[in-house]
Amino acid sequence: MRSQAAVPRFMSLLFVLFLPPVFSSSSRPQWVLQRVPVVLPQQTEARSAPHFLSPARLEVSSPCDPECHKRAPRPSYWDLRSLLAYETLHSDGQLTETAIGIYGYDPSSNTSPAYASGSSGKAERSHVRRKRQIFGHDGRFSIAGQNFLLKYPFSVAVKLSTGCSGTLVGDRHVLTAAHCVHDGKNYVKGAQKLRVGFLKTKQRDTQASPFYLPSNFTNHVEGGSAPYTPPTNEKMKFQWIRAKRTHVPKGWIKGNANDIGMDYDYALLELKKPHKRRHMKLGVSPPAQRLPGRRVHFSGFDNDRPGKLVYRFCRAGEETSDLLYQHCDAQPGASGSGVYARMWDGQRRRWERKVIGVFSGHQWVERQGASQEFNVAVRITPLKYAQICYWIKGNFVDCREG
């Protein structure tokens, strides 16, 4: 049977992903902390109320491929101030716009190897496809059983009422994609009464799951000491919490109609009350070659598997200063998922997962009559880290190292 055949593959992948990697102390892939700039709000003004007319788009497209992004001129300091200015949508429908100041900015800290190495800007040629979102064999995994769904790291994945996914990055904060709440022209239908859904157990079924893992597996996944019990086919439901505020950078709002918009496809939601779950820390996106196995991971709520959390990992591909390209299998609904990596934290002497990007979705670019496909995540650069961290913490003192 198909389920029986899938068991060995499922188990082997889980062992590879979650058992502590064997590295010498000198070769461990490590988080490299760096001083980040300061992004501070300066002036906030009221704006006219949004319309909330258009449905949220779960897919994004752009005429600009990796080669096009690499050729784009670097934003100036004043450009960055304009792009990182942001709008805040309040739950009562009021809209404000906030100008920002940037301090201690070092342009070289926002550079990826694609630029630093003197790249010619030539992109790897993608295979010609017809708007597919599964690359060959479907490598996604539906996570089942509260043993996994309700424990870290899977517990940080949440669903948005607009149909996208998000990631817990604070006690009451969710990181997602900007296009999940704003179409580049206005806020989408449902953005004012935006809700965030948390999976919880609905009822227990006595039938056991076919997947049996070692008794110490949960410890490796969560880092805790909870006893292991085999996962069951529990039915899950969503518990919803309203969003109090939604922050969207002006880079998305101003640039969605041109090439720069993709670089700023991120948004932060502040919930009306704490979610009381463990969240994942933010991290500045390292170069792809420094990632363990050059892999990235993310979990979201793909709409072809309703009510199920879907996990995947894949090799990171090309990158620009702001974008990371990869071929992780995904379907609409996964947009907004936090892309993360797991590396050694030398200060805390432990392995740490950090969100290093936001899964934006698929891009299809028509070139010479052929459709080229790209899978895109927005990288958390030092400036974006400073901005998002300030939105979460409310001060810059706690946001100086990323």
- Determine the pLDDT at residue 226: 38
pLDDT digits (tens, 9 = 90+) for 329-374: 888 899 999 999 999 998 889 999 999 999 998 776 655 666 667 7
Spans of the chain below 50 pLDDT:
1-25, 111-132, 205-232, 256-258
- Determine the pLDDT at residue 236: 76
Catalytic residue among 173, 179, 182, 279: 179
Per CATH, is 2-399 categorized as 3.10.20.80? no
- In which region does residue 104 sit, left (phi positive, over 0), alpha (psi from -120 to 50) or beta (all else)? left
User: ∠ at Cα 294 (288, 298), nearest 5°?
Assistant: 95
CB neighbour class for 104 (10 Å; exposed up to 12, middle 13-18, buried from 19): middle
From CA 124, how far away is CA 321, in angstroms rounded?
Answer: 17
Active site residue 179: yes
Active site residue 51: no
Catalytic residue among 335, 337, 360, 362: 335
Active site residue 259: yes
Q: How far is CA 50 from CA 36, 90, 196, in A?
A: 33, 11, 20
Residue 116 is classified by DSSP as H
Catalytic residue among 171, 259, 304, 345: 259
pLDDT digits (tens, 9 = 90+) for 258-316: 456 789 999 999 999 999 999 999 999 999 999 999 999 999 999 888 888 999 998 88
* CB 323 within 8 Å of CB 379: yes
From CA 384, how far away is CA 402, in angstroms rounded?
Answer: 10
- Domain map of the chain by residue range? 2-399
* pTM, two decimal places: 0.81
- Determine the pLDDT at residue 118: 31
